[in-house]
A = this chain, B = another copy of it.
Amino acid sequence: MPSNLTHAEMDKVPRPAELLYLLHGDPAELSDALSGLRPADIADALRHLPPDAAARLMAVLPFDLAVPAFDEPELTHHRADIITRMGEEKAAPLIDAMSADQQADLFRELSDTERRKFLKVLEPPTRAALEVLLRYPSDTAGGIMTTEFVSVPTTWTVQQTLDHIAEVGRAKETVYAVYCVDPDREALQHVVSLRDLMVASDRSQPVGALGDQRIPISVRARTDREDVARLISKYNLLAVPVVDDQNHILGIVTVDDVIDAIVREQTEDVHRFGGLEAIDEPYLAISFWGMIRKRAGWLTALFLGEMLTATAMGFFEAEIAKAVVLALFVPLIISSGGNSGSQATSLIIRALALREVKLRDWWRIAARELPSGLTLGVILGLVGVTRIVLWQRIGWYNYGVHWPLVAMTVGLALVGVVTFGSLTGSMLPFVLKKLGFDPASASAPFVATLVDVTGLVIYFSVAAFILGGTLL
């Protein structure tokens, strides 16, 4: 039977590591047990150990296993804690051997004093490269790029280039994309893939003559990582070069870094849609007060907005006193508006993120959401009226002598509120984008809050119209 490392088996890795440590407390023994594992699995184990234990484990791991494990992007948020507990002499060779993008990631997490301390003990070329990368924010191409790429003059032959890769390939982040530069100005001119080189019929021709002759796809250091991800995904690239104004290559962003970026953006989007500030740390790793801070801000802001419902309800207090039956349906009606709004918002957030619709398409969406909202509102309105009629007829509840008018009020209010909810929910991401915010900040609770206040006004206005002279 083959041993396939399926997801279920993957899940088992960290726990035994933690258990082993708890049982024996001996990092050397744990290191033995882990030596058959892949770097990503060791990174998993390191992530699940207390930082002190992880630092001791790092110290006893064979260097050629410690480096790739410590290089795993999954160790973000843990590396700084581990490295500061390892001491500078042990840490310096490890940091020197890491890939440039992960070095930068580590240094971004260190405090200013620690950063200066560790920069001092690094080899001068490592330090110089690192200081360049640290200039860029972590959510830009510059922040996730690496400086270890293969670059040759366009005048080199295919064979020369293949020989060069054989020689330097081990130390590069990827060898599958080769960047061809102008021999004089060193500006990026051309990209060939290792596949192009391998299948070339004539190995004495210059690399510049090979492959796609279009201007290569490149990004700027300040390009948002989300846009880098979209380019790599759209054009099925293994890496994209990051260039400056003179078209000199500063670094490359590889597809595996982009997957990590996509997954992080996804987490951000879900958190924000859920109505809190995005949290880039594991749930169980963030501190209690850190968590409260991320949640309390939005929760309080929404609460302040929602206070307008109390104001709106206060405005209709006399109506409620006269017809208490109206109050019964308040939660039902406003929540239906919120739900339809939340649906529309989730649709539009994704459509905007995937560039299926653009800002200027807002009116097409509005033209679609108006009939959609009306249809959905009619469906819910009919269900609502049926419920009131049934309960009244069966005798489960008595909505008073004017119950047909109450049913009509609820039904019509639902049509209005759901239509308004769909429209508001679909337009909110556009408004946010227009104002320069990320459309993904349009959270479900945000939409619900917007719709609740207006929903009450719609409901009581319909009530005043239909029940005026009878109940009101």
Instruction: State whether B306 touches A332 (Cβ < 8 A).
Output: yes
A354 touches B176 (CB 8 A): no
Given known contacts A175-B195, A292-B375, A296-B376, A275 and B234 CB-to-CB distance under 8 angstroms: no
Stretch at the interface among A105-113, A114-122, A282-290: A282-290
Question: Which residue of A1, A245, A302, A365 has the most chain B CB atoms within 10 A of its CB atom?
Answer: A302
Using a CB-CB cutoff of 8 Å, which residues 256-276 of chain A contact chain B? Answer: 256, 258-260, 262-263, 266-267, 269-271, 273-276
User: Are B283's CB and A348's CB within 8 A?
Assistant: yes
Residues B259 and A299 in contact, CB atoms below 8 Å apart = no
Contact A40 B6 (CB under 8 A): no
Please determine whether B338 and A284 come into contact, CB atoms closer than 8 angstroms.
no
Contact B303 A234 (CB under 8 A): no
A383 in the interface, Cβ–Cβ < 8 Å? yes
Chain B residues with CB under 8 A of A456: 331
A67 at the A/B interface (Cβ < 8 Å)? Answer: no
Residues of B contacting A243 in the complex (Cβ-Cβ under 8 angstroms): 2, 4
Point out the residue from B292, B364, B452 that lies within 8 Å of A331, measured CB to CB. B452
Are B175 and A198 in contact, CB atoms less than 8 angstroms apart?
Answer: yes
How far does the alpha carbon of A388 sit from the alpha carbon of B267 in the complex, in Å?
A: 37
Given contacts A292-B372, A331-B330, A357-B283, contact A444 B273 (CB under 8 A): yes
Q: What 0/1 readout, one digit per residue, does chain A (156-172) give for beta carbons within 8 Å of chain B?
A: 00000010011101100
Question: Which residues of B have CB within 8 Å of A233?
Answer: 256, 259-260, 263
Report whether A313 and B328 are in contact in the complex, using a CB–CB cutoff of 8 Å: yes
Establish whether residues B274 and A345, one from each chain, have CB atoms under 8 Å apart when the complex forms. yes
Residue of B nearest to A2 (CB): B247
A448: interface (CB < 8 Å): yes
A294-346: which residues lie under 8 A (CB-CB) from chain B?
Answer: 295-296, 298-300, 302-304, 306-307, 309-310, 313-314, 317, 320-321, 324-325, 327-332, 334-336, 338-340, 342-343, 345-346
Please, how many angstroms separate the alpha-carbon atoms of A309 and B115 in the complex? 56
Interface residue A89 (Cβ < 8 Å from any Cβ of B): no
Contacts of A321 in B (CB 8 A): 324
Provided the pairs A176-B176, A199-B170 are in contact, do residues A4 and B275 lie with their beta carbons within 8 angstroms?
no
Q: How large is the interface on A (under 10, 10 to 19, 20 to 34, 35 or more residues)?
A: 35 or more
- Is A402 engaged at the interface, CB distance under 8 Å to the other chain? no
Q: Which of B263, B357, B448 contacts A284 (CB 8 A)?
A: B357
Cα A232 to Cα B238 in complex, Å, equals 14
Please indicate the chain B residues that have their CB under 8 angstroms from the CB of A279 in the complex.
347
* A282 and B351 within 8 A (CB): yes
Stretch from A50-58, A132-140, A210-218 forming part of the interface with B: A210-218
- Nearest Cβ on chain B to A353's Cβ, whole angstroms: 8
A450–B457 alpha-carbon span in the complex (Å): 25
- A260: B residues at CB distance < 8 A: 233
Task: Given A194-B176, A270-B270, A300-B383, decide whether A343 and B275 contact each other with a Cβ distance below 8 A.
Answer: yes
- Closest chain-B Cβ to A448's Cβ sits at a distance in Å of 6
Alpha-carbon gap, A271 to B187, bound state (A): 44
A229: chain B residues within 8 A (beta carbon):
259
Q: Are B284 and A354 within 8 A (Cβ)?
A: no
Asked if A219 and B263 sit within 8 Å, CB to CB, the answer is no
Contacts of A372 in B (CB 8 A): 288, 291-292, 295
A397 to chain B, nearest CB (A): 6
Given A262-B262, A296-B379, A298-B343, 8 extra CB contacts under 8 A: A162-B198, A275-B346, A284-B356, A330-B330, A335-B338, A335-B449, A335-B452, A342-B443
Nearest 7 CB-CB pairings of A with B: A274-B346, A444-B444, A309-B331, A2-B247, A7-B227, A283-B351, A339-B445
A-B contacts, 27 of them at CB < 8 A, read A4-B219, A6-B223, A10-B231, A38-B214, A38-B217, A40-B235, A74-B234, A166-B198, A170-B199, A194-B194, A255-B259, A271-B347, A271-B350, A273-B346, A273-B444, A283-B348, A284-B356, A299-B340, A299-B343, A313-B330, A331-B331, A334-B335, A335-B452, A338-B445, A339-B448, A342-B443, A342-B444
